[in-house]
Structure 1
Amino acid sequence: MFDLGMTLKNVFVFLGITMAGSVLASPTLKFSAGGYSSQGDYGLSSDTQIQGIPVSAQYRAWPWKLKLSGSYVHLKGPGTLEDADLGNGSQFRIKDVYGFGDTSVTIEHESVSRPAASRWYWSSGIRIKLPTGERDKGLGTGEADLEPRFMLMWLNETWRPYVRVKYTIRGNPDDRKLDNGFGATLGVDVPVNPQVRVGAQVSGRESSTSTGHDRLDVLMTSTVKWDSSFSSTVYASGGLKEGSADYLFGVDFSYSFKL
Protein backbone atom coordinates (compact mmCIF):
# COMPACT_ATOMS: atom_id res chain seq x y z
CA MET A 1 0.00 0.00 0.00
CA PHE A 2 1.25 3.49 -0.86
CA ASP A 3 2.27 5.45 2.26
CA LEU A 4 2.24 9.14 1.29
CA GLY A 5 3.48 10.32 4.68
CA MET A 6 6.57 8.11 4.60
CA THR A 7 7.21 9.04 0.96
CA LEU A 8 7.12 12.75 1.81
CA LYS A 9 9.59 12.18 4.67
CA ASN A 10 11.98 10.34 2.36
CA VAL A 11 11.67 13.07 -0.28
CA PHE A 12 12.59 15.82 2.20
CA VAL A 13 15.59 13.81 3.45
CA PHE A 14 16.78 13.26 -0.13
CA LEU A 15 16.34 16.94 -1.03
CA GLY A 16 18.25 18.05 2.05
CA ILE A 17 21.21 15.78 1.28
CA THR A 18 21.21 16.72 -2.41
CA MET A 19 21.02 20.47 -1.86
CA ALA A 20 23.65 20.40 0.89
CA GLY A 21 26.04 18.42 -1.32
CA SER A 22 25.68 20.63 -4.40
CA VAL A 23 27.88 23.52 -5.41
CA LEU A 24 25.36 26.22 -6.31
CA ALA A 25 26.67 29.23 -8.25
CA SER A 26 25.23 32.76 -8.44
CA PRO A 27 22.16 32.17 -6.25
CA THR A 28 19.15 34.48 -6.64
CA LEU A 29 16.07 35.02 -4.53
CA LYS A 30 12.73 36.06 -6.06
CA PHE A 31 9.56 37.18 -4.32
CA SER A 32 6.24 37.31 -6.17
CA ALA A 33 2.75 38.50 -5.27
CA GLY A 34 -0.35 39.33 -7.23
CA GLY A 35 -4.08 38.85 -7.53
CA TYR A 36 -6.63 37.01 -9.64
CA SER A 37 -10.37 36.57 -10.07
CA SER A 38 -12.20 33.58 -11.57
CA GLN A 39 -15.73 32.29 -12.05
CA GLY A 40 -17.35 29.08 -13.25
CA ASP A 41 -20.14 26.65 -12.42
CA TYR A 42 -18.00 23.49 -12.86
CA GLY A 43 -21.17 21.49 -13.54
CA LEU A 44 -22.66 22.37 -10.14
CA SER A 45 -25.93 24.09 -9.25
CA SER A 46 -24.57 27.66 -9.44
CA ASP A 47 -21.41 29.64 -10.11
CA THR A 48 -18.40 29.67 -7.80
CA GLN A 49 -16.42 32.92 -7.62
CA ILE A 50 -12.83 32.96 -6.38
CA GLN A 51 -10.60 35.97 -5.74
CA GLY A 52 -7.07 35.20 -4.59
CA ILE A 53 -3.77 36.76 -3.58
CA PRO A 54 -1.01 34.28 -4.53
CA VAL A 55 2.46 34.76 -3.02
CA SER A 56 5.69 32.86 -3.54
CA ALA A 57 9.40 32.83 -2.71
CA GLN A 58 11.93 31.16 -5.01
CA TYR A 59 15.58 30.33 -4.43
CA ARG A 60 17.52 29.53 -7.59
CA ALA A 61 21.17 28.53 -7.95
CA TRP A 62 22.04 26.54 -11.04
CA PRO A 63 21.15 23.77 -11.50
CA TRP A 64 18.64 23.80 -8.61
CA LYS A 65 15.44 25.73 -8.05
CA LEU A 66 13.38 25.68 -4.83
CA LYS A 67 9.99 27.41 -4.59
CA LEU A 68 7.47 27.92 -1.78
CA SER A 69 4.02 29.18 -2.77
CA GLY A 70 0.54 29.69 -1.36
CA SER A 71 -2.47 31.99 -1.57
CA TYR A 72 -5.10 33.80 0.48
CA VAL A 73 -8.54 33.55 -1.12
CA HIS A 74 -12.17 34.58 -0.97
CA LEU A 75 -14.43 31.77 -2.21
CA LYS A 76 -18.17 32.21 -2.78
CA GLY A 77 -20.29 29.38 -4.17
CA PRO A 78 -20.78 25.61 -3.92
CA GLY A 79 -17.39 24.61 -5.34
CA THR A 80 -13.98 24.17 -3.70
CA LEU A 81 -10.56 25.68 -4.32
CA GLU A 82 -8.68 22.45 -5.11
CA ASP A 83 -11.22 20.76 -7.39
CA ALA A 84 -14.19 23.07 -7.73
CA ASP A 85 -16.58 20.42 -9.10
CA LEU A 86 -16.30 18.29 -5.94
CA GLY A 87 -18.66 20.61 -4.12
CA ASN A 88 -17.04 19.50 -0.84
CA GLY A 89 -19.68 16.77 -0.46
CA SER A 90 -22.63 19.09 -1.03
CA GLN A 91 -23.40 20.61 -4.43
CA PHE A 92 -26.13 22.87 -3.01
CA ARG A 93 -24.42 24.52 -0.02
CA ILE A 94 -23.30 28.03 -0.92
CA LYS A 95 -20.17 29.07 0.95
CA ASP A 96 -18.80 32.59 1.44
CA VAL A 97 -15.42 32.10 3.10
CA TYR A 98 -11.96 33.62 3.43
CA GLY A 99 -8.73 31.81 4.24
CA PHE A 100 -5.43 30.34 3.13
CA GLY A 101 -5.31 27.55 0.56
CA ASP A 102 -2.86 24.66 0.51
CA THR A 103 0.89 25.40 0.39
CA SER A 104 3.20 24.02 -2.30
CA VAL A 105 6.92 23.22 -2.08
CA THR A 106 8.58 22.59 -5.46
CA ILE A 107 12.16 21.46 -6.14
CA GLU A 108 13.52 21.21 -9.69
CA HIS A 109 16.80 20.33 -11.35
CA GLU A 110 17.54 22.28 -14.55
CA SER A 111 19.70 21.43 -17.59
CA VAL A 112 20.61 23.07 -20.92
CA SER A 113 22.20 21.48 -23.98
CA ARG A 114 25.59 22.78 -25.12
CA PRO A 115 25.12 24.41 -28.58
CA ALA A 116 24.65 28.16 -28.25
CA ALA A 117 22.51 29.03 -31.30
CA SER A 118 19.58 26.72 -30.62
CA ARG A 119 19.49 24.91 -27.32
CA TRP A 120 17.24 22.57 -25.37
CA TYR A 121 16.26 23.35 -21.79
CA TRP A 122 14.69 20.76 -19.54
CA SER A 123 13.86 20.42 -15.88
CA SER A 124 12.63 17.59 -13.69
CA GLY A 125 11.40 17.81 -10.15
CA ILE A 126 8.66 17.25 -7.67
CA ARG A 127 5.90 19.38 -6.15
CA ILE A 128 4.68 18.63 -2.64
CA LYS A 129 1.29 20.04 -1.66
CA LEU A 130 0.96 20.56 2.09
CA PRO A 131 -2.59 20.55 3.60
CA THR A 132 -2.69 24.08 5.04
CA GLY A 133 -6.14 24.94 3.62
CA GLU A 134 -9.23 24.26 5.74
CA ARG A 135 -11.23 21.44 4.21
CA ASP A 136 -14.47 22.47 5.94
CA LYS A 137 -14.29 25.78 4.07
CA GLY A 138 -13.51 24.09 0.75
CA LEU A 139 -9.97 25.52 0.69
CA GLY A 140 -8.10 22.19 0.64
CA THR A 141 -8.44 18.41 0.67
CA GLY A 142 -6.96 18.00 4.15
CA GLU A 143 -4.23 15.70 2.82
CA ALA A 144 -0.79 16.05 1.23
CA ASP A 145 -0.15 15.39 -2.48
CA LEU A 146 3.01 14.35 -4.30
CA GLU A 147 3.51 15.45 -7.92
CA PRO A 148 6.50 14.46 -10.11
CA ARG A 149 6.86 16.80 -13.11
CA PHE A 150 8.99 17.35 -16.21
CA MET A 151 9.43 20.25 -18.65
CA LEU A 152 11.15 20.47 -22.05
CA MET A 153 11.68 23.77 -23.94
CA TRP A 154 13.44 24.62 -27.20
CA LEU A 155 15.43 27.85 -26.80
CA ASN A 156 15.98 30.18 -29.75
CA GLU A 157 15.75 33.90 -30.48
CA THR A 158 12.29 34.06 -32.06
CA TRP A 159 10.07 31.61 -30.19
CA ARG A 160 10.32 28.99 -27.46
CA PRO A 161 7.87 26.08 -27.61
CA TYR A 162 7.61 23.87 -24.55
CA VAL A 163 5.77 20.95 -23.03
CA ARG A 164 5.14 20.09 -19.37
CA VAL A 165 3.86 16.81 -17.96
CA LYS A 166 2.99 15.85 -14.40
CA TYR A 167 1.42 13.04 -12.41
CA THR A 168 -0.42 13.87 -9.18
CA ILE A 169 -0.44 11.27 -6.39
CA ARG A 170 -3.25 12.46 -4.15
CA GLY A 171 -3.67 11.85 -0.45
CA ASN A 172 -7.09 10.51 0.53
CA PRO A 173 -9.33 12.08 3.18
CA ASP A 174 -10.98 9.62 5.58
CA ASP A 175 -14.39 9.90 3.89
CA ARG A 176 -13.38 10.09 0.23
CA LYS A 177 -11.17 8.32 -2.30
CA LEU A 178 -9.33 10.70 -4.63
CA ASP A 179 -7.84 9.42 -7.88
CA ASN A 180 -4.30 10.00 -9.05
CA GLY A 181 -4.07 11.64 -12.45
CA PHE A 182 -1.99 13.06 -15.29
CA GLY A 183 -1.72 16.65 -16.42
CA ALA A 184 0.00 18.24 -19.41
CA THR A 185 0.70 21.67 -20.88
CA LEU A 186 1.67 22.63 -24.43
CA GLY A 187 2.75 26.21 -24.91
CA VAL A 188 5.00 28.79 -26.52
CA ASP A 189 6.95 31.76 -25.13
CA VAL A 190 7.79 34.57 -27.58
CA PRO A 191 10.42 37.24 -26.73
CA VAL A 192 9.14 40.45 -28.35
CA ASN A 193 12.20 42.44 -27.26
CA PRO A 194 14.66 42.27 -24.32
CA GLN A 195 12.01 43.75 -21.99
CA VAL A 196 8.74 42.15 -23.20
CA ARG A 197 7.61 38.63 -23.92
CA VAL A 198 4.21 37.07 -24.56
CA GLY A 199 3.01 33.50 -24.22
CA ALA A 200 0.16 31.11 -24.87
CA GLN A 201 -0.55 27.62 -23.60
CA VAL A 202 -3.17 24.88 -23.45
CA SER A 203 -3.32 22.86 -20.23
CA GLY A 204 -5.31 19.78 -19.31
CA ARG A 205 -5.70 17.76 -16.12
CA GLU A 206 -7.60 14.63 -15.15
CA SER A 207 -10.30 14.93 -12.50
CA SER A 208 -9.55 13.70 -8.99
CA THR A 209 -12.78 11.63 -8.91
CA SER A 210 -14.47 9.27 -11.35
CA THR A 211 -17.64 11.40 -11.27
CA GLY A 212 -15.79 14.73 -11.63
CA HIS A 213 -14.88 16.73 -14.70
CA ASP A 214 -11.51 16.96 -16.42
CA ARG A 215 -9.95 20.39 -16.96
CA LEU A 216 -8.83 22.01 -20.20
CA ASP A 217 -7.77 25.68 -20.28
CA VAL A 218 -6.28 28.20 -22.69
CA LEU A 219 -3.98 30.78 -21.06
CA MET A 220 -2.49 33.99 -22.49
CA THR A 221 0.31 35.91 -20.74
CA SER A 222 2.30 39.12 -21.20
CA THR A 223 5.42 39.85 -19.13
CA VAL A 224 7.32 43.14 -18.88
CA LYS A 225 10.79 43.29 -17.34
CA TRP A 226 11.03 46.84 -16.03
CA ASP A 227 14.65 46.54 -14.88
CA SER A 228 17.13 43.88 -13.79
CA SER A 229 15.10 43.14 -10.64
CA PHE A 230 11.43 44.02 -11.18
CA SER A 231 8.92 42.45 -13.60
CA SER A 232 5.16 42.17 -13.97
CA THR A 233 2.88 39.69 -15.72
CA VAL A 234 -0.77 39.95 -16.72
CA TYR A 235 -2.66 36.81 -17.69
CA ALA A 236 -6.10 35.61 -18.73
CA SER A 237 -7.53 32.14 -19.28
CA GLY A 238 -10.74 30.54 -20.48
CA GLY A 239 -12.07 27.06 -19.84
CA LEU A 240 -12.79 24.55 -22.59
CA LYS A 241 -14.23 21.80 -20.36
CA GLU A 242 -16.77 21.62 -17.54
CA GLY A 243 -14.12 21.23 -14.85
CA SER A 244 -12.47 24.55 -15.74
CA ALA A 245 -13.36 28.08 -14.72
CA ASP A 246 -15.29 30.01 -17.37
CA TYR A 247 -12.73 32.80 -17.05
CA LEU A 248 -9.75 33.86 -14.96
CA PHE A 249 -7.88 37.18 -14.97
CA GLY A 250 -4.80 38.00 -12.95
CA VAL A 251 -1.63 40.02 -12.45
CA ASP A 252 1.68 39.12 -10.83
CA PHE A 253 4.59 41.27 -9.65
CA SER A 254 8.09 39.86 -9.03
CA TYR A 255 11.25 41.23 -7.47
CA SER A 256 14.53 39.30 -7.63
CA PHE A 257 18.07 39.92 -6.42
CA LYS A 258 21.35 38.08 -6.18
CA LEU A 259 22.55 36.80 -2.83
Structure 2
Amino acid sequence: MKHLAILAACTASAFATAADAQETAGSSGLSLTTGLDYSSGSYSADEKTEILVAPFSAAWRNDTVRLTASLPYVRIDGPAGVVLGPDGKPLPGVTGVAGKRSGLGDLSLGGSITLPTLPIGLGIDLTGRAKLPTSDPDKHLGTGEADFTVGADFTYPIGPVAPFLSVNYRMPGDPEGVELRNTYAASVGASMVFGRSIAIVSYDYAQASSPLAKDARELFGAVSTPVTDKVNGTLYGTAGLSEGSADYGVGVMLTLKL
Protein backbone atom coordinates (compact mmCIF):
# COMPACT_ATOMS: atom_id res chain seq x y z
CA MET A 1 0.00 0.00 0.00
CA LYS A 2 1.31 3.45 -0.91
CA HIS A 3 1.05 6.50 1.19
CA LEU A 4 1.02 10.18 0.42
CA ALA A 5 4.34 11.78 -0.54
CA ILE A 6 3.34 14.07 -3.33
CA LEU A 7 5.08 17.29 -2.46
CA ALA A 8 7.87 17.88 -4.96
CA ALA A 9 8.87 14.24 -5.20
CA CYS A 10 5.27 13.44 -5.92
CA THR A 11 5.76 10.90 -3.68
CA ALA A 12 3.27 9.31 -3.26
CA SER A 13 0.79 8.48 -1.34
CA ALA A 14 -2.57 7.81 0.08
CA PHE A 15 -4.35 9.60 -2.74
CA ALA A 16 -2.49 7.21 -5.05
CA THR A 17 -3.60 4.32 -2.88
CA ALA A 18 -7.16 5.50 -3.20
CA ALA A 19 -6.84 5.50 -6.98
CA ASP A 20 -5.13 2.12 -6.98
CA ALA A 21 -7.89 0.60 -4.90
CA GLN A 22 -10.32 1.23 -7.74
CA GLU A 23 -8.46 -1.28 -9.88
CA THR A 24 -9.75 -4.80 -9.85
CA ALA A 25 -7.64 -7.76 -8.83
CA GLY A 26 -5.49 -9.05 -11.65
CA SER A 27 -5.65 -5.77 -13.59
CA SER A 28 -2.54 -4.39 -15.24
CA GLY A 29 -1.48 -1.60 -17.52
CA LEU A 30 -0.35 2.00 -17.72
CA SER A 31 -1.91 5.03 -16.00
CA LEU A 32 -1.14 8.77 -16.09
CA THR A 33 -1.76 11.16 -13.21
CA THR A 34 -1.74 14.91 -12.74
CA GLY A 35 -3.28 17.39 -10.33
CA LEU A 36 -2.59 20.27 -7.95
CA ASP A 37 -1.34 20.26 -4.37
CA TYR A 38 -1.18 23.34 -2.12
CA SER A 39 0.22 23.56 1.40
CA SER A 40 1.09 26.34 3.84
CA GLY A 41 3.05 26.31 7.08
CA SER A 42 5.95 27.82 9.00
CA TYR A 43 7.81 24.51 9.50
CA SER A 44 9.51 25.79 12.70
CA ALA A 45 10.60 29.02 10.95
CA ASP A 46 9.49 32.58 11.70
CA GLU A 47 7.85 33.00 8.29
CA LYS A 48 5.39 30.84 6.42
CA THR A 49 6.26 28.87 3.31
CA GLU A 50 3.63 28.26 0.65
CA ILE A 51 4.12 25.43 -1.83
CA LEU A 52 2.18 24.63 -4.99
CA VAL A 53 2.94 21.36 -6.79
CA ALA A 54 1.56 20.12 -10.11
CA PRO A 55 2.74 16.52 -10.48
CA PHE A 56 2.98 14.66 -13.77
CA SER A 57 3.45 10.95 -13.26
CA ALA A 58 3.14 7.61 -15.02
CA ALA A 59 2.65 4.19 -13.44
CA TRP A 60 2.70 0.66 -14.81
CA ARG A 61 1.53 -2.34 -12.86
CA ASN A 62 0.65 -5.99 -13.04
CA ASP A 63 -0.42 -8.45 -10.35
CA THR A 64 2.83 -8.18 -8.38
CA VAL A 65 4.90 -5.25 -9.65
CA ARG A 66 4.26 -1.50 -9.79
CA LEU A 67 6.68 0.99 -11.40
CA THR A 68 6.30 4.77 -11.23
CA ALA A 69 8.00 7.87 -12.58
CA SER A 70 7.08 11.42 -11.60
CA LEU A 71 8.30 14.90 -12.50
CA PRO A 72 6.52 17.78 -10.72
CA TYR A 73 6.25 21.47 -11.43
CA VAL A 74 7.00 23.26 -8.15
CA ARG A 75 6.41 26.81 -6.92
CA ILE A 76 7.81 27.88 -3.53
CA ASP A 77 7.09 31.18 -1.81
CA GLY A 78 8.96 31.49 1.47
CA PRO A 79 12.02 32.70 3.35
CA ALA A 80 15.61 32.17 2.22
CA GLY A 81 17.26 28.89 3.08
CA VAL A 82 14.14 26.74 2.60
CA VAL A 83 14.05 24.07 -0.12
CA LEU A 84 12.18 20.77 -0.51
CA GLY A 85 13.89 18.00 1.41
CA PRO A 86 14.08 14.21 0.98
CA ASP A 87 10.55 13.76 2.37
CA GLY A 88 9.05 16.39 0.07
CA LYS A 89 8.62 18.88 2.92
CA PRO A 90 10.38 22.24 3.37
CA LEU A 91 13.91 21.80 4.69
CA PRO A 92 15.51 24.83 6.42
CA GLY A 93 19.21 25.62 6.52
CA VAL A 94 20.08 24.99 2.86
CA THR A 95 21.54 27.72 0.68
CA GLY A 96 18.64 29.40 -1.07
CA VAL A 97 16.89 32.61 -1.98
CA ALA A 98 13.85 34.29 -0.46
CA GLY A 99 10.57 34.93 -2.24
CA LYS A 100 8.97 33.09 -5.12
CA ARG A 101 10.79 30.59 -7.30
CA SER A 102 9.36 27.96 -9.60
CA GLY A 103 10.26 25.34 -12.16
CA LEU A 104 10.45 21.62 -12.75
CA GLY A 105 11.35 19.70 -9.61
CA ASP A 106 13.31 16.51 -9.02
CA LEU A 107 12.55 13.31 -10.91
CA SER A 108 11.23 10.50 -8.69
CA LEU A 109 11.47 6.84 -9.73
CA GLY A 110 9.75 4.16 -7.65
CA GLY A 111 8.87 0.51 -7.58
CA SER A 112 7.02 -1.97 -5.39
CA ILE A 113 6.60 -5.73 -5.22
CA THR A 114 3.50 -7.37 -3.76
CA LEU A 115 4.35 -10.52 -1.83
CA PRO A 116 1.98 -13.51 -1.72
CA THR A 117 -0.78 -12.91 0.84
CA LEU A 118 -0.06 -14.65 4.13
CA PRO A 119 -2.47 -17.36 5.33
CA ILE A 120 -3.82 -14.97 7.98
CA GLY A 121 -4.84 -12.55 5.21
CA LEU A 122 -2.03 -10.02 5.68
CA GLY A 123 -0.84 -8.30 2.51
CA ILE A 124 2.73 -7.00 2.25
CA ASP A 125 4.30 -4.69 -0.32
CA LEU A 126 8.04 -3.93 -0.44
CA THR A 127 8.82 -0.50 -1.88
CA GLY A 128 11.76 1.59 -3.03
CA ARG A 129 12.15 5.07 -4.45
CA ALA A 130 14.97 7.25 -5.78
CA LYS A 131 14.67 11.03 -6.08
CA LEU A 132 17.15 12.38 -8.62
CA PRO A 133 18.37 16.02 -8.59
CA THR A 134 16.98 17.17 -11.94
CA SER A 135 15.72 20.60 -10.81
CA ASP A 136 17.59 23.79 -11.77
CA PRO A 137 20.19 24.39 -8.99
CA ASP A 138 19.94 28.17 -9.48
CA LYS A 139 16.26 28.09 -8.47
CA HIS A 140 16.92 26.29 -5.15
CA LEU A 141 13.90 23.99 -5.35
CA GLY A 142 15.69 20.93 -3.94
CA THR A 143 18.85 19.90 -2.14
CA GLY A 144 20.74 19.15 -5.36
CA GLU A 145 21.46 15.59 -4.22
CA ALA A 146 19.94 12.18 -4.85
CA ASP A 147 17.78 10.68 -2.06
CA PHE A 148 16.70 7.07 -1.57
CA THR A 149 13.80 5.50 0.35
CA VAL A 150 12.96 1.88 1.15
CA GLY A 151 9.88 0.66 2.97
CA ALA A 152 7.18 -1.88 3.57
CA ASP A 153 3.39 -1.60 3.56
CA PHE A 154 1.13 -3.96 5.53
CA THR A 155 -2.60 -4.27 4.85
CA TYR A 156 -5.20 -6.48 6.54
CA PRO A 157 -8.59 -6.35 4.76
CA ILE A 158 -11.67 -6.90 6.93
CA GLY A 159 -14.63 -6.79 4.59
CA PRO A 160 -14.85 -3.29 3.07
CA VAL A 161 -12.34 -1.89 5.61
CA ALA A 162 -8.58 -2.37 5.30
CA PRO A 163 -6.38 -1.21 8.21
CA PHE A 164 -2.80 -0.53 7.15
CA LEU A 165 0.67 0.27 8.45
CA SER A 166 3.38 1.79 6.28
CA VAL A 167 7.02 2.20 7.39
CA ASN A 168 9.84 3.87 5.44
CA TYR A 169 13.56 4.52 5.87
CA ARG A 170 14.92 7.57 4.05
CA MET A 171 18.56 8.06 3.07
CA PRO A 172 19.19 11.64 1.91
CA GLY A 173 22.13 12.90 -0.09
CA ASP A 174 24.85 15.14 1.34
CA PRO A 175 24.30 18.72 0.16
CA GLU A 176 27.11 21.17 0.81
CA GLY A 177 26.83 23.22 3.99
CA VAL A 178 24.04 21.29 5.71
CA GLU A 179 23.89 18.16 7.82
CA LEU A 180 21.19 15.67 6.82
CA ARG A 181 20.55 12.36 8.56
CA ASN A 182 18.81 9.11 7.72
CA THR A 183 15.26 9.05 9.07
CA TYR A 184 12.21 6.86 9.65
CA ALA A 185 8.61 7.59 8.70
CA ALA A 186 5.41 5.71 9.44
CA SER A 187 1.69 5.92 8.66
CA VAL A 188 -1.17 4.07 10.29
CA GLY A 189 -4.78 4.24 9.15
CA ALA A 190 -7.50 2.50 7.21
CA SER A 191 -9.25 2.59 3.86
CA MET A 192 -12.92 1.82 3.32
CA VAL A 193 -14.71 0.93 0.09
CA PHE A 194 -18.26 2.19 -0.38
CA GLY A 195 -19.84 1.50 -3.75
CA ARG A 196 -17.29 2.36 -6.44
CA SER A 197 -15.54 4.88 -4.21
CA ILE A 198 -12.94 4.61 -1.49
CA ALA A 199 -12.09 6.75 1.53
CA ILE A 200 -8.85 6.72 3.45
CA VAL A 201 -7.74 8.29 6.74
CA SER A 202 -4.35 8.09 8.42
CA TYR A 203 -1.97 9.47 11.01
CA ASP A 204 1.48 10.19 9.56
CA TYR A 205 4.79 10.64 11.37
CA ALA A 206 8.18 11.53 9.86
CA GLN A 207 11.48 12.26 11.55
CA ALA A 208 13.12 15.52 10.48
CA SER A 209 16.05 15.10 8.09
CA SER A 210 17.78 18.20 9.50
CA PRO A 211 18.57 19.04 13.15
CA LEU A 212 17.24 22.51 12.33
CA ALA A 213 13.75 21.12 11.62
CA LYS A 214 11.08 19.45 13.75
CA ASP A 215 9.51 16.02 13.32
CA ALA A 216 6.29 16.05 11.26
CA ARG A 217 2.97 14.72 12.55
CA GLU A 218 -0.23 15.15 10.59
CA LEU A 219 -3.66 13.77 9.79
CA PHE A 220 -4.56 12.82 6.24
CA GLY A 221 -7.89 12.14 4.56
CA ALA A 222 -8.90 11.38 0.97
CA VAL A 223 -11.85 10.28 -1.14
CA SER A 224 -11.42 8.74 -4.59
CA THR A 225 -14.16 7.90 -7.07
CA PRO A 226 -14.47 7.13 -10.79
CA VAL A 227 -15.26 10.13 -12.99
CA THR A 228 -15.57 7.97 -16.11
CA ASP A 229 -14.66 4.37 -16.93
CA LYS A 230 -11.07 5.50 -17.57
CA VAL A 231 -10.63 8.44 -15.19
CA ASN A 232 -10.44 8.51 -11.40
CA GLY A 233 -10.74 11.68 -9.35
CA THR A 234 -9.28 12.10 -5.86
CA LEU A 235 -9.71 14.90 -3.32
CA TYR A 236 -7.53 14.99 -0.21
CA GLY A 237 -6.40 17.17 2.65
CA THR A 238 -3.92 17.26 5.54
CA ALA A 239 -3.97 18.91 8.96
CA GLY A 240 -0.66 19.54 10.73
CA LEU A 241 -0.22 18.40 14.33
CA SER A 242 3.36 19.62 14.91
CA GLU A 243 5.71 22.49 14.06
CA GLY A 244 7.41 20.29 11.48
CA SER A 245 4.21 19.90 9.42
CA ALA A 246 2.28 22.22 7.16
CA ASP A 247 -0.59 23.94 8.94
CA TYR A 248 -2.81 22.48 6.25
CA GLY A 249 -2.73 21.11 2.73
CA VAL A 250 -5.32 20.38 0.05
CA GLY A 251 -5.13 18.69 -3.31
CA VAL A 252 -6.91 17.15 -6.27
CA MET A 253 -5.66 14.39 -8.57
CA LEU A 254 -6.92 12.95 -11.86
CA THR A 255 -5.72 9.52 -13.01
CA LEU A 256 -6.25 8.24 -16.56
CA LYS A 257 -6.00 4.50 -17.05
CA LEU A 258 -4.79 3.62 -20.54
> Is the TM-score greater than 0.5?
yes
Equivalent residue pairs, number: 228
Instruction: Say whether residues 1:223 and 2:229 are aligned partners.
Output: no
Query: How far apart are the structure 1 equivalents of 2:154 and 2:74?
Result: 32
Aligned to 1:31: 32
**Paired letter, 2:194:** V
Larger radius of gyration: 1
Task: Give a deviation string over 1:216-252, Cα, whole Å, max 9, x none.
Answer: 1111100012344211000010111111110101000
Structure 1 residue 52 displacement after superposition: 1.4
Contact 2:84 2:91 in 1 (8 A): no
2:117 to 113, 118, 123: 113
Query: How far apart are the structure 1 equivalents of 2:148 and 2:51?
Result: 25
Query: How far apart are the structure 1 equivalents of 2:44 and 2:138?
Result: 21
Aligned to 1:86: 92
Instruction: Say whether residues 1:165 and 2:184 are aligned partners.
Output: no
**Paired letter, 1:96:** K
Query: How far apart are the structure 2 equivalents of 1:112 and 1:198?
Result: 25
Query: How far apart are the structure 2 equivalents of 1:54 and 1:204?
Result: 23
Aligned to 1:55: 56
Task: Give a deviation string over 1:37-58, Cα, whole Å, max 9, x none.
Answer: 1111112121111111012100
> How well do the aligned residues superpose, as a CA RMSD in angstroms?
1.9
**Which runs of 5 or more structure 1 residues have no equivalent in the other structure?**
1-24
Aligned to 2:246: 245
Query: How far apart are the structure 2 equivalents of 1:60 and 1:153?
Result: 18
User: Aligned to 1:46, what secondary structure does the other structure show?
Assistant: coil
Query: How far apart are the structure 2 equivalents of 1:171 and 1:85?
Result: 13
- Structure showing the higher helix proportion among its residues: 1
Task: Give a deviation string over 1:155-185, Cα, whole Å, max 9, x none.
Answer: 2322111011010111101322211100101
Task: State the percentage of identical aligned residues.
Answer: 27
Structure 1 residue 139 displacement after superposition: 1.1
Matches within 5 A, 1:7-156: 27-78=28-79, 79-82=82-85, 83-89=89-95, 94-113=98-117, 119-156=121-158
Contact 2:125 2:153 in 1 (8 A): yes
Contact 1:73 1:101 in 2 (8 A): yes
User: Aligned to 1:155, what secondary structure does the other structure show?
Assistant: coil
- Larger RCO (CA within 8 A; separation ≥ 6): 2
**Which runs of 5 or more structure 2 residues have no equivalent in the other structure?**
1-25
Query: How far apart are the structure 2 equivalents of 1:220 and 1:241?
Result: 17
